[in-house]
Each structure stands twice: as structure tokens, then as C-alpha cells.
């Protein structure tokens, strides 16, 4: 029994049950399939996180964000949050701080943007809804990824890393517009 | 010293039970159950707050209760119980006195003081930093002091366990090798050393930072090292509850491993690879390369998953072999139909195996896939997954083994046998519901650790939609069901210890406990007899599991393929 010592001293020389050998082989091969699926997706899939990231002083990141807001601001949300519309292909920034995502980005459908993300104070969770893309945002690290919106509409960024007592009120917005529309 | 050590001989098993061991097992098990009750209560309040129609607690209390819930059940309940299991698997199963019982009591005291200290810090209200306490969120210094004291106490417990193994070897209290269950406990203790060392490496500097002696702590470094404690400590649970599965199967139906070699090899894979799991928490983090993520998140090509899949075959396989030996040989599933489903130890074990594999295991591997993690990171899918592993898996297995420990160690009959029959079903199905419905809500994008998914205070509003609300409501209902099972467990265990009929008189046969395995017949004379037995039922069960695994895995790749392109 499993609660008593093995009956034979040389228990490691006992023959194996065939079912066990087959199952070990199946499980091992399945592990390889799952491992190479991740590698395969890096080569042929469309959804991979870039490995591009930089150390950044929060104040310096904030300056870059403000420069973008100044240059491309097209309006304001009723809450006073600026709405910016950088040209396709541009570097766009979103900053996380307690308790807001700053600013609101207007992006064109089907166009690619280099999105820079960082936090001012504590860790935050970038959760783009209802698309459901989730990223961890750290203070002191600037994450850069190229993103291509493929649906028109208003998308909400909610914070999904606990960041303090106002955490549940921390939201932001990405607006995806038709690239052919004049505005 | 050893000459004066007192022991009794267990009438059921013939094993020597030393009085120092017995007292320590009792103390640790009782402390565990007390913290399970406290942490479970916090958990119920969290679930009822997340149920939008109920929304029980105000925001401040919600984050406080969530921090306390994580600490008290994930850490305190489980590790106290694991220390009890370590002492049982060493001193009792090896027929050996416990090494340095005084040090073991010191460890117990440190754990208790640490657990109380951290609970006080949390209840004072300025340490609602969640169980993970990610820097730069800062808790009060005694929050960290309590966890460090608790960890040092647990470390002492592990050392007492290792010392007991050495004594047993020197005094030749057993022949051949240590039993499989002790081997599993040894696996847990080895992983615990790694875990506690990682905890010390990160929490000691964090404590110094919280009192102002260190200016800053890098948040990514913190996460890597903290999760070497946080995730690896869940691997202690896996090793311990797999050992408990084998233990219950052995005691209740007389099961023995299909092969010692394979089961031990599977435990060895845990020791070698499980520690890489820190990566599961870092898959969408900046500044870490994809190569590192892929290698580590897959435990070096899924070798630790291989270990769990082996146990997933060998535990039901051992039960089937034993049941067929016990005479249930008709058809594919007579052995399963006529298993002792009314015995709470067996029922809890069986549900734990199924839920851990199908819910916790599959979701963990899927979520740990680098790209699929984009869909799930920090959504409520994550707590859904680990309620499948730690609650429906570990906690249920530990509850089940309590029904064996109370007659053997506390020497009391279980009270309320009729209710005890139902307890594992209530708790298990409730816990499985919690896991499944949180995973469902997470798939719909609902965040974990979030007080208000209606975003009523937010400047920019958002609505998750009706399905997400329904998932959280069903999660609340499941939490109530699990709580009823949890309350029953606490009442039955405490009641049995205090008021259960004493079992001092030897030779009273207890119908709840199955007899030791029947004597070997010549047909089965080979090791374990398994080579001569067919296991059609187990083959069907693992095939169903494998198909579910593969389907669910590829369905999630389909979801990933529908996301916006990222590179």
C-alpha cells in the first residue's frame, strides 16, 4: 500500500504496467505539442507581445505623453479628459496613474500604432474591453507594442491590477474610427 | 532520551503513535481548521460583494476582506495542515519518534504568532495590499513581519520532518524504502524549502523598505522572486494533496500504487520543474523575453504537467486495481459504481481528483500558455483557476483526510455520520461552481480584485453585460453552497474532537474505516499484481480527460486568433 514501504527492496526494477507506459508517452508528446504551439505562434500568429521595453523615469514618460496630447488633441471628454488623434503609424502613449488612464486615444481602424504604456505610481492592469487584451503595467518600465485595431467603436480600458481604494473607478478609453471618414 | 519517549500502538494499523507527535499533529490541525473558518468567512463576504445584486461590503472593507481571505486560507490554513501531514507521514507512517519535538513546538508558536500578527495588520486597515502585496503598494511593517515569522516557523516544521526521516533511517524503523505517501510529503517539504527561501529573499528587503531603510524595490524583480514563493507554495499543496490521495486510497480501499517507480518519478518531476511556475505571473510583463517566458511557463516543455498527468492515471488506476481485487470485477465501471461513496474520506478524495484535473489542471495549463494569457491575465479567470486547484483540489483533499485522522490520531468517532456523508459533496460542488463561474466571468473580461463591475464611480463608464453579472451571481450561490459545506466541516471536526465517542478501547472495529488490504493471492503475487490486471475503467477516464484537455486548449487558441493583431 501507499502508506507502507514497498514490499520489495528493488522496487525500481519492477516491470511497468503497459497502460502507464502508453499514458506517459501520450502525455509527454502532448507536452511537446503545447510547447511548440507557442513557438509556432511567434512565427505565424498575429497576436504576440513584443519584447520591446525600456526603463523610464515616470516624470520623463509623463513629459512624452503631454507632448503627444499637446500636438494631437482634438477634443475633450465630458470628464475633462483630453481626446487625442495621432496619425496612423505614430507613436501613441497611454499613462496609468491612480485612478485614470490618460489620455483618450482615437485610432483609425485597420491602421497600426506603436503603443507605449507605463505607470506613474504603482502597478496597474491594462484591460481592453470588451476585446479582452490584458497587460501588466509597471512604474519605471515603458512597454512598447504595435497594435492594429480591427473593429470600429468605443473600447474601455479598465484597470485589473489592484492599485488602491479607487481601483474600481479607474477606466480609460480607446475610440476606433473609420479610416476613410473625414474628421 | 529515546528510551523515555512514550507511544501507543494504533489498534487499526499496528503503527506506533508517539505522544509528542500526536500532540503536535493535533495542535497544527486545529490551528489550520480555525484559520480555515476565519478565511472562509472572509471569502464568503468577498463572493457576496462581487455578486452585483447583493454587493455586501463597502469598497474599503472589500479590499481588506480580500487580503485577509487570501492570507488566511491560501497560506495559513494550508500550511498548518501541511505541517500536520508532514509529521503524520514521517513519525506515524515510519513508526518513528519525532525529531526534536521542542523545536517543533517553537515552529508552531512562530507560525501562530506570525499568522495573528499579519491578521492584526490587515484588520487595522492600512495593509489592504492583497495577498501578493505588489510593490510599490506598501503595507504596515508588521504585515511583512508576520509572514516572515510564519515562514520561519514552517521552515522549522520542514526541518523536524527531515530530522525524523534521518532518525527513522538510523534506527531502522522501516524496511526497504520510505512509503510512497512519505515520499510525496518529502517532495512537498523539499519544495517548501525553496519556497520559504524565495519568500525570505524578497520579503526581508520589502520589510526594510516599508520601514524606510531601503529606498525602492524594483516591481518586476519583486514579482519574479515573490512568485517563486507564491506559486511554488501551491506546488507544495499539489505534492501534499497527491500524497493525501494515495493515502486515502490506501486506507479506504487498500489501493497500492500501480508501480512505485512511476509514481515516485512523477513526484521527482515536481521537484525538478515546478519552481519555474513563477513565469505564469509574468507572461504579459514588460522587459522579459518571450524565450524566457515560453521555457519557464511550460515547466521546461511541460515536464511538471507530465508529473500531474501521471498521478491522474495512477491514482484512479490504483483504486480500480484495488477494487477489482476486492471483487468488483463486472464490466468497465462496477469498481467505480460500488466504490464507498458514502465514506466522506473516499468521496472527498475522488471529487478532489476530478476537480483538480478537469477544472484546476486544464485551466492552469491553458492560462499558462504565453499568448493565451493575454486573454486571461488578471481577469477573474485567474482566481477561478486556482479555486479549482487549491479549494476543490487541495482543501477538499485535506478535508477528506481529516475523516481518517480524527479516528486514528484524535481517537474519536466522527459525529453526525449522516451529515458527514454529504459534507464533501456540498463543499466540493460549491467549490467547483466557484471555480467554473469565475472562469466564465473572466472569459467575458471581468477583472479580479474589483469592487464594482458596474463602474458607477468611474468618469468613463462601462458595462460588462448581463452574462457577466449572471456568472458572478452563480459564483455567489456556489460560494454559499461551499460555505455550508465548510461550516459543516468545521462543526463536524470540532464536534468530533470535543464530543465524539472515545476510541481508547482497542479492538473496537470501526465500520467507517476500511480494513487493511486483503491478503495477496498467488495470482497477484507479482509486484502490485497490476501487470496481471486490466484497467479498462481508468483508460476510459483518462481518455475523457485527455479529449477535454485538447479541445479546451485549441478553443482558446481560436479566441486568441480573434484578438486585434499585436506585435
Per-residue pLDDT tens over the stretch B272-323: 988 888 899 999 999 999 999 999 999 888 999 999 999 999 999 999 999 9
User: Domain count of chain B?
Assistant: 1
The answer as to whether B305 is a domain residue is no
Contact flag B450-A147 (C-beta cutoff 8 Å): no
Average pLDDT over every residue of B98-102: 96
Nearest to B459 among A53, A81, A127 (CB): A81
Q: What is the pLDDT of residue B13?
A: 80
Chain B, 305-364: which have a CB under 8 Å from a chain A CB?
A: 305-306, 309-310, 313-314, 317-318
The answer as to whether B126 is a domain residue is no
Interchain contact A98–B (C-beta under 8 A): no
Give dist(CA A125, CA A119) in Å, integer: 10
Angle between helix axes B466-499 and B19-50 (nearest 10 degrees) is: 150
pLDDT category of residue A22 using cuts at 50, 70 and 90 = very high
pLDDT in tens, B215-260: 999 999 999 999 999 998 888 999 999 999 999 999 999 998 999 9
pLDDT in tens, B354-367: 999 999 999 999 99
Nearest to A31 among B60, B137, B306 (CB): B306
Average pLDDT over every residue of B432-461: 95
Nearest to A134 among B246, B313, B375 (CB): B375
Contact flag B136-A42 (C-beta cutoff 8 Å): no
Interchain contact A164–B (C-beta under 8 A): yes
The answer as to whether A21 is a domain residue is no
Give me the domain span that covers residue B395.
Answer: 326-504+533-567
Contact flag B290-A121 (C-beta cutoff 8 Å): no
**H or E stretch at B421:** helix B417-443
Nearest to B527 among A2, A7, A159 (CB): A7
Give dist(CA B134, CA B554) in Å, integer: 33
Give me the domain span that covers residue A91.
Answer: 53-177
The answer as to whether B206 is a domain residue is no
Mean pLDDT lowest among B326-330, B512-516, B562-566: B512-516
The answer as to whether B124 is a domain residue is no
The answer as to whether A107 is a domain residue is yes
* Residue B51 Cα, gap to closest chain A Cα (Å): 15
Domain of B350: which CATH number? 1.20.210.10
Q: Using an 8 Å CB-CB cutoff, list chain B residues near A113.
A: none
Q: What is the pLDDT of residue B508?
A: 39
Q: A99 preceded by cis ω (within 30°)? A: yes
pLDDT category of residue B522 using cuts at 50, 70 and 90 = very low
Q: Which residues contact B58 (CB under 8 A, 6 or more apart)?
A: none
Q: What is the pLDDT of residue A181?
A: 64
Give dist(CA A172, CA B87) in Å, integer: 53
Paired residues of A104 in beta bridges? A83
**pLDDT of B510 over the 50 cut:** no
Interchain contact B17–A (C-beta under 8 A): no
pLDDT in tens, B147-160: 999 999 999 999 99
Q: Using an 8 Å CB-CB cutoff, list chain A residues near B289.
A: 51
Cell of A180: 476613410
**pLDDT of B31 over the 60 cut:** yes
User: Domain count of chain A?
Assistant: 1
* Residue B463 Cα, gap to closest chain A Cα (Å): 9
Q: What is the pLDDT of residue B161?
A: 97
* Residue A162 Cα, gap to closest chain B Cα (Å): 6
Task: Count Cβ atoms within 10 A of the Cβ of residue A149 and give its class: 0-12 exposed, 13-18 middle, 19 or more buried.
Answer: buried
**pLDDT of B1 over the 90 cut:** no
Chain A, 48-77: which have a CB under 8 Å from a chain B CB?
A: 48-51, 53, 55, 77
Closest alpha carbon within chain A to B132 = A162
Give dist(CA B191, CA B473) in Å, integer: 37
pLDDT category of residue B562 using cuts at 50, 70 and 90 = very high
Q: Using an 8 Å CB-CB cutoff, list chain B residues near A97.
A: none
Find where cell 449522516 sits: B418
Q: Using an 8 Å CB-CB cutoff, list chain A residues near B374.
A: 47, 49, 133-135
Contact flag A2-B257 (C-beta cutoff 8 Å): yes
The answer as to whether A10 is a domain residue is no
**pLDDT of B108 over the 60 cut:** yes
Mean pLDDT, chain B, rounded, equals 92
pLDDT in tens, B329-339: 999 999 999 99
Interchain contact B67–A (C-beta under 8 A): no
Cβ-Cβ contacts under 8 Å between A and B: the total is 314
pLDDT in tens, A119-148: 999 999 999 999 999 999 999 999 999 999
Closest alpha carbon within chain B to A40 = B371
Contact flag A14-B528 (C-beta cutoff 8 Å): yes
Contact B341, B353 (CB under 8 A): no
Q: What is the pLDDT of residue B532?
A: 55
The answer as to whether A30 is a domain residue is no
* Residue A140 Cα, gap to closest chain B Cα (Å): 8
The answer as to whether B433 is a domain residue is yes
Give dist(CA B478, CA A124) in Å, integer: 30
CA dist A127 → A80, A174, B154, B557 (Å): 22, 11, 37, 19
Cell of B371: 499568448
Which runs of E-coded beta strand occur in B373-447? none
pLDDT category of residue A182 using cuts at 50, 70 and 90 = low
Closest alpha carbon within chain B to A154 = B462
pLDDT in tens, A63-77: 999 999 999 999 999
The answer as to whether B450 is a domain residue is yes
pLDDT in tens, B74-88: 999 999 999 999 999
Q: A144 preceded by cis ω (within 30°)? A: no
The answer as to whether A23 is a domain residue is no
Contact flag B176-A8 (C-beta cutoff 8 Å): yes
Q: Using an 8 Å CB-CB cutoff, list chain A residues near B540.
A: none
Chain B, 25-64: which have a CB under 8 Å from a chain A CB?
A: 59-60, 63
Domain of A110: which CATH number? 2.60.40.420
Give dist(CA B245, CA B400) in Å, integer: 9
Contact A79, A86 (CB under 8 A): no
Q: Using an 8 Å CB-CB cutoff, list chain B residues near A14.
A: 259-261, 527-528
Give dist(CA B314, CA B532) in Å, integer: 16
Interchain contact A40–B (C-beta under 8 A): no
**pLDDT of A86 over the 80 cut:** yes
Helix (H, G, I), strand (E, B) or coil at B534: coil
Give dist(CA B95, CA B165) in Å, integer: 11
Q: Using an 8 Å CB-CB cutoff, list chain A residues near B513.
A: none
The answer as to whether B343 is a domain residue is yes
Amino acid at each position: 500500500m501507499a502508506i507502507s514501504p514497498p514490499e520489495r527492496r528493488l522496487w525500481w526494477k519492477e516491470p511497468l504496467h503497459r497502460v502507464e507506459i502508453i499514458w506517459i508517452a501520450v502525455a509527454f508528446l502532448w507536452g511537446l505539442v503545447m510547447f511548440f504551439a507557442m513557438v509556432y505562434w511567434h512565427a505565424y500568429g498575429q497576436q504576440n507581445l513584443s519584447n520591446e521595453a525600456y526603463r523610464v523615469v515616470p516624470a520623463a514618460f509623463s513629459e512624452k505623453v503631454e507632448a503627444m496630447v499637446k500636438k494631437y488633441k482634438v477634443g475633450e471628454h465630458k470628464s475633462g479628459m483630453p481626446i487625442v488623434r495621432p496619425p496612423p503609424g505614430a507613436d501613441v502613449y497611454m499613462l496609468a496613474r491612480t485612478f485614470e488612464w490618460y489620455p483618450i486615444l482615437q485610432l483609425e481602424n485597420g491602421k497600426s500604432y506603436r503603443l507605449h504604456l507605463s505607470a506613474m505610481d504603482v502597478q496597474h492592469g491594462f484591460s481592453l474591453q470588451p476585446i479582452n487584451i490584458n497587460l501588466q503595467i509597471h512604474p519605471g518600465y515603458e512597454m512598447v507594442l504595435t497594435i492594429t485595431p480591427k473593429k470600429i467603436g468605443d473600447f474601455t480600458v479598465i484597470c485589473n491590477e489592484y492599485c488602491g481604494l479607487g481601483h474600481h473607478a479607474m477606466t480609460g478609453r480607446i475610440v476606433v474610427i473609420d479610416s476613410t471618414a473625414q474628421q | 532520551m529515546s528510551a523515555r519517549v512514550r507511544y501507543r500502538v494504533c489498534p487499526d494499523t499496528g503503527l506506533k503513535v508517539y505522544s509528542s507527535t500526536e500532540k503536535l499533529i493535533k495542535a497544527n490541525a486545529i490551528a489550520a481548521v480555525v484559520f480555515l473558518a476565519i478565511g472562509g468567512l472572509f471569502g464568503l463576504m468577498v463572493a457576496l460583494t462581487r455578486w452585483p445584486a447583493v454587493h455586501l461590503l463597502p469598497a474599503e472593507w472589500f479590499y481588506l476582506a480580500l487580503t485577509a481571505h487570501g492570507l488566511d486560507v491560501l497560506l495559513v490554513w494550508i500550511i498548518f495542515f501541511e505541517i500536520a501531514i508532514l509529521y503524520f507521514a514521517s513519525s506515524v507512517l515510519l513508526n518513528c519518534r519525532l525529531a526534536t519535538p521542542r523545536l517543533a513546538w517553537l515552529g508552531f508558536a512562530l507560525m501562530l504568532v506570525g499568522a495573528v500578527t499579519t491578521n492584526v495588520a490587515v484588520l487595522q486597515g492600512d495593509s489592504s495590499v492583497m495577498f501578493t502585496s505588489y510593490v510599490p503598494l506598501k503595507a504596515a511593517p508588521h504585515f511583512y513581519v508576520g509572514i516572515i515569522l510564519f515562514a520561519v516557523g514552517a521552515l522549522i516544521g520542514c526541518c523536524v520532518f527531515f530530522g525524523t526521516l534521518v532518525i527513522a533511517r538510523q534506527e531502522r524503523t522501516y524496511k526497504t524504502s520510505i512509503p510512497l505517501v512519505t515520499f510525496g510529503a518529502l517532495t512537498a517539504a523539499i519544495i517548501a524549502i525553496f519556497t520559504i527561501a524565495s519568500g525570505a529573499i524578497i520579503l526581508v528587503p520589502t520589510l526594510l523598505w516599508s520601514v524606510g531603510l531601503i529606498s525602492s524595490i524594483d516591481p518586476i524583480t519583486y514579482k519574479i522572486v515573490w512568485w517563486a514563493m507564491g506559486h511554488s507554495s501551491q506546488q507544495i499543496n499539489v505534492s501534499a494533496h497527491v500524497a493525501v490521495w494515495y493515502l486515502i486510497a490506501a486506507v479506504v480501499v487498500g489501493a497500492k500504487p500501480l508501480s512505485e517507480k512511476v509514481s515516485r518519478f512523477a513526484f521527482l518531476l515536481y521537484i525538478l520543474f515546478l519552481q519555474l511556475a513563477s513565469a505564469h505571473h509574468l507572461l504579459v510583463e514588460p522587459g522579459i523575453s518571450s524565450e524566457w517566458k515560453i521555457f519557464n511557463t511550460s515547466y521546461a516543455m511541460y515536464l511538471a504537467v507530465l508529473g500531474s498527468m501521471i498521478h491522474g492515471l495512477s491514482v484512479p488506476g490504483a483504486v480500480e486495481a484495488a477494487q477489482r481485487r476486492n471483487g468488483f470485477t463486472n464490466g468497465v465501471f462496477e469498481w467505480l459504481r460500488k466504490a464507498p461513496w458514502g465514506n466522506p474520506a473516499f468521496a472527498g478524495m475522488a471529487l478532489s481528483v476530478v476537480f483538480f484535473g478537469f477544472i484546476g489542471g486544464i485551466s492552469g495549463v491553458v492560462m499558462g500558455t504565453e499568448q493565451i494569457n493575454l486573454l486571461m491575465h488578471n481577469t477573474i479567470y485567474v482566481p477561478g483557476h486556482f479555486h479549482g486547484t487549491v479549494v476543490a483540489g487541495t482543501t477538499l483533499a485535506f478535508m477528506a483526510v481529516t475523516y481518517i485522522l480524527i479516528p486514528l490520531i484524535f481517537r474519536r468517532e466522527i459525529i453526525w455520520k449522516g451529515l458527514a456523508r454529504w459534507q464533501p459533496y456540498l463543499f466540493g460542488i460549491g467549490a467547483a461552481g466557484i471555480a467554473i463561474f469565475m472562469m466564465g466571468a473572466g472569459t467575458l473580461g471581468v477583472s479580479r480584485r474589483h469592487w464594482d463591475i458596474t463602474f458607477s464611480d468611474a468618469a468613463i463608464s462601462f458595462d460588462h453585460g448581463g452574462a457577466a453579472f449572471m456568472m458572478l451571481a452563480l459564483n455567489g450561490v456556489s460560494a454559499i453552497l461551499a460555505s455550508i459545506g465548510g461550516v459543516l466541516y468545521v462543526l463536524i471536526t470540532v464536534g468530533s474532537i470535543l464530543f465524539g465517542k472515545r476510541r481508547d478501547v482497542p479492538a473496537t472495529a470501526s465500520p467507517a474505516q476500511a480494513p487493511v488490504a486483503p491478503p495477496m493471492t498467488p495470482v497477484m503475487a507479482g509486484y502490485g499484481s497490476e501487470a496481471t490486471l486490466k484497467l479498462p475503467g481508468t483508460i476510459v477516464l483518462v481518455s475523457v480527460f485527455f479529449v477535454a484537455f485538447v479541445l479546451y486548449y485549441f478553443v482558446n487558441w481560436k479566441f486568441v486568433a480573434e484578438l486585434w493583431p499585436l506585435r
